[in-house]
A and B are shown apart, each in its own frame.
Chain A
Amino acid sequence: GAGVSQSPSNKVTEKGKDVELRCDPISGHTALYWYRQSLGQGLEFLIYFQGNSAPDKSGLPSDRFSAERTGGSVSTLTIQRTQQEDSAVYLCASSPTGGGKYEQYFGPGTRLTVT
Chain B
Amino acid sequence: AQTVTQSQPEMSVQEAETVTLSCTYDTSESDYYLFWYKQPPSRQMILVIRQEAYKQQNATENRFSVNFQKAAKSFSLKISDSQLGDAAMYFCAQTSSNDYKLSFGAGTTVTVRA
Residues of chain A having any CB pair with chain B under 8 Å: 31, 33, 35, 42-45, 48, 56, 59, 89, 91, 93, 95, 98-101, 103-109, 111
Evaluate whether A100 and B99 lie within 8 angstroms (CB atoms) in the complex, with A42-B106, A43-B91 already known.
Answer: yes
Chain A residue at smallest Cβ distance from B96: A100
Shortest CB distance B37–A (Å): 8
Contacts of B95 in A (CB 8 A): 100
Q: Give me 22 A-to-B residue pairs in the complex whose CB atoms sit less than 8 angstroms apart, sorted by A's number.
A: A33-B102, A42-B106, A42-B107, A45-B101, A48-B100, A56-B100, A59-B101, A91-B45, A93-B45, A99-B97, A99-B99, A99-B100, A100-B31, A100-B95, A100-B96, A100-B98, A100-B99, A103-B47, A106-B44, A108-B42, A108-B43, A109-B43
- A33, A103, A106: the one within 8 Å of B101 (CB): A33
Cβ of A93: which chain B residues have Cβ within 8 Å of it? Answer: 45
Q: From residue B94, how far is it (CB to closest CB) to chain A in Å? A: 9
Contact of A45 among B33, B97, B102 (CB under 8 A): B102
Residue of B nearest to A44 (CB): B104
**What's the least CB distance linking A40 to chain B, in Å?**
11
A contact face: mostly helix, strand, loop, or mixed: strand
Question: Given that A100-B97, A100-B98 are contacting pairs, would A43 and B104 also be in contact in the complex, using a CB cutoff of 8 Å?
Answer: yes
Closest to B53 in A: A100
Mask: chain B, 43-83; 1 = CB below 8 Å from A; 0 = not: 11111001010000000000000000000000000000000
Asked if residues B101 and A56 are in contact (CB atoms below 8 Å), the reply is: yes
The interface residues of chain A lying within 8 Å CB-to-CB of B107 are: 42-43
Q: Are A98 and B100 in contact (CB under 8 A)?
A: yes
Interface bits B80-114 vs A (CB < 8 Å: 1, else 0): 00000000000100011111111111110000000
Q: How far is the CB of B45 from chain A (nearest CB, A)?
A: 4
